[in-house]
Amino acid sequence: MSANRIINATINATLDDWIRDEAISFSSGSSEAFGDSIDRAIASLDKSVELLGFGEALHGGEDILKLRNGLFRRLAESHGYSAIAVESSFPRACMVDDYVAGNSQESFEAVLEEGFSHGFGRLEANRELVEWMRRYNADPSNGIKLHFYGFDIPGLALGIASPSQVIHFVLDYIASIDSASGQKHRQLIDSLLGSDFDWENPAAMADPAKSIGLSPAANALRIETEDLIVELRMRRPELLAKSDRDSYLQAVQHAALARELLNFHAASARKSDELYARLLGIRDASMADNLAYIVKRERRRGKVLAFSHNSHLQRGKAVLPWATWWPAGSHLNEMLGPRYAVIGSALGVSKDNGIGAPEPFTLEARLTACPGPARLIPTHKGQGLLASEIASLPTRSGSTKNPTYIPLRPQSFSDFDWLAVLDSTGYSRGGPALGQLDGSKLE
């Protein structure tokens, strides 16, 4: 961003002046204007940024997903980004990564069905992203190959997953180096795991009494998982010498994720008025740890784009009608400092998602008043604007169909570095019927 634009941000008298002077209008269908808009936004960020978050205002916004795909293409081709991490199961995504690397023998449909959680592999924009990454990696002129990650705790459409997949990943790693130790751990752990059905009972999300998270076997499994982590740490020099750094770190991360899954199941078994807040807090802390691991793994190759709901990637505390918690973005802000930047998204209308025109004087109404159909606007953390004007901004009404839609609030200025604002969006091709979405589980 030019010095003049930065100076303007400090002297704007009103919010409307700021929007008029700072907005960068573009159409995602115009590659030249779109690329130039992205370039200008990236140039304004701290040069130390290793992880860029891009948040979606709701799940299922077709045009936001298209914008994400175009953003990642530009970042990969022009800005040294080597990976994308999405709000999907951390262990499942390994299957998608194998596919985009050209190493998978699985069919495209199987990869998308098994490689994503929450049914996100059925969204056409996600399919297009995966296919583009595979073509990019197959081109020998692209020296740095792209990687695909999930960074969410393993989840299901109606609940949270059994810890068996992540624990068995660790057991397989140990057994590949020390079969006796691997077999010893496996016999004990498998006797405690029991049936995946019992762990994944969807009724447990609504009724703590249906959760097995605090059963004697589950408590014993938590101790055995800690013992696995201790062994990985104690034997680090040996395990690194007998495998390789990436395999070792991947096993350690899976073990840490198994611990968090067990903590999540334990929390779900406790009756509490703060149940959802605690579950979301555990989930987001795990998300942040997974992203920090991904950044560390990619550091020698490139930077990482993280894509998730705004409420997970924002820097400030997440405040929703059903819960208040510290999201992944707030953790990453402390863990990475200026190496983390985040773009939030917003929109004007969406008939498909039950979102009408924003009410007058709301932030969305003011942002969409400048030329579109899309625009990027730096927040400057609200500096140069009257605090009283920001604080008095009314919040627009929500959605009548999609409970995952969260409007902007005054704190959005400090939550995000930039805002990507679209006039409108359709609903995702391939997405579930909107009546099946539950905002408390999917945002």
Q: What is the percent of the chain with per-residue pLDDT over 90, rounded to a whole number?
A: 82
Residue 172 has pLDDT above 50, yes or no: yes
pLDDT at 9: 44
Instruction: Label the pairing between strands 418-424 and 374-378.
Output: antiparallel
Q: Which residues of 299-330 are buried (b: 16+ CB within 10 A; e: fewer)?
A: eeebbbbbbbbbbbbbbbebeeeebebbbbbb
121-167: pLDDT as tens digits: 999 999 999 999 999 999 999 999 999 999 999 977 667 899 999 99
Calculate mean pLDDT across residues 190-212. Answer: 91
358-417: pLDDT as tens digits: 999 999 999 999 998 999 999 988 887 778 888 899 999 999 999 999 999 999 999 999
Mean pLDDT (the chain) is: 92
pLDDT band at 67 (very low <50, low <70, confident <90, very high): very high
pLDDT at 324: 95
Beta bridge partner(s), residue 308: 55
Calculate mean pLDDT across residues 176-197. Answer: 95
Residue 442 has pLDDT above 70, yes or no: no
Other CB atoms within a 10 A radius of the CB of residue 92 amount to 20
Residue 1 has pLDDT above 70, yes or no: no
The CA angle 213-219-223, to the nearest 5 degrees, is 130
Which burial class, exposed, middle or buried, applies to 50 when counting CB atoms under 10 A from its CB (0-12, 13-18, 19+)? buried
Q: What is the percent of the chain with per-residue pLDDT over 70, rounded to a whole number?
A: 94
77-101: pLDDT as tens digits: 999 999 999 999 999 999 999 999 9
Residue 30 has pLDDT above 60, yes or no: yes
Sorted by where each begins, the domain ranges of the chain are 3-154+304-317+344-442, 162-199+212-268
